[in-house]
Amino acid sequence: MIVASTSRVPSRSRWVAEYYQRSLKEFRVDADLMALDQVPTSILDTTLYRKPRIPNESWDAIQQRVHAAQKFIFIIPEYNGSFPGILKVWIDALEYPGSLRGKKACMLGLSDGTQGSALAMSHFADVLNYAGVHTLAFRPRFIQIGQYVTDGGLGNPDYMKQIQIQIDQFLAF
């Protein structure tokens, strides 16, 4: 599963996620793409930090997709020096520990500035490791992303190459 880790619309993370999904097809891999604008705000009344939980059709469908996935590719934009709050909400709302424990993940960061979500990915790796997820060491950082992401394209050959390398590594991971 590819997770475009923001609810912002439109979102460059979403475009990079779609590019990544197309790249995976070249490796004969069909990946589910979850953009976090799909997270329903109704989870505040039914699911998030609730016990017992109230059934919520939209969220329960997301939960089932997560149960079905074994490997996760997180596309993480840098927001205020870290990862987006909606990504933490998504993690907090998932059933614990059965949703993620023992599964595998890799990360790719992007930002307008020059960090490329380096700290964001470091912060998120701690969250994933707490949840029992094994993470790939190679984390591409796409800096000054606004210069390169255009509708449907990723205008930077080095960034395209880094995605290929990460796919190679993650398939073997």
Ligand X SMILES: Cc1cc2nc3c(=O)[nH]c(=O)nc-3n(C[C@H](O)[C@H](O)[C@H](O)COP(=O)(O)O)c2cc1C
CA distance 135 to 11: 24
Secondary structure of residue 171 in the 3-state scheme:
helix
6 contacts ligand X (rule: CB under 6 A): yes
Which of 98, 101, 75, 92 lies closest to 39, judged by CA?
92
Quick one: which of 2, 3, 12, 148 contacts ligand X (CB under 6 A)? 12
110 bridge partner residues: 77, 142
Q: Please say whether the beta carbons of 78 and 89 come within 8 A.
A: no
145 contacts ligand X (rule: CB under 6 A): yes
Smallest gap from Cβ 64 to ligand X, in A, equals: 25
- Would you say 145 or 167 has its CB closer to ligand X? 145
Measured from the Cβ of residue 49, the count of other Cβ atoms closer than 10 Å reads 10
Q: How many residues bind ligand X (CB under 6 A)?
A: 16
Residues 6+ positions from 161 with CB-CB distance below 8 Å: none
Amino acid identity, position 35: A
Q: Is 61 exposed, middle or buried (0-12, 13-18, 19+ CB in 10 A)?
A: exposed
- Would you say 81 or 98 has its CB closer to ligand X? 81
- Would you say 5 or 135 has its CB closer to ligand X? 5
Residue nearest to ligand X (CB): 113
- Binding to ligand X by CB under 6 A, coded x per residue (else -) over 93-132, reads -----------------xxxx-x-----------------
- What's the token pair of residue 50? 């609730």
- Would you say 111 or 166 has its CB closer to ligand X? 111
Provide the residue count of the chain. 173
Smallest gap from Cβ 95 to ligand X, in A, equals: 26
41 contacts ligand X (rule: CB under 6 A): no
77 contacts ligand X (rule: CB under 6 A): yes
Binding region for ligand X (CB under 6 A)? 6, 8, 11-13, 77-81, 110-113, 115, 145
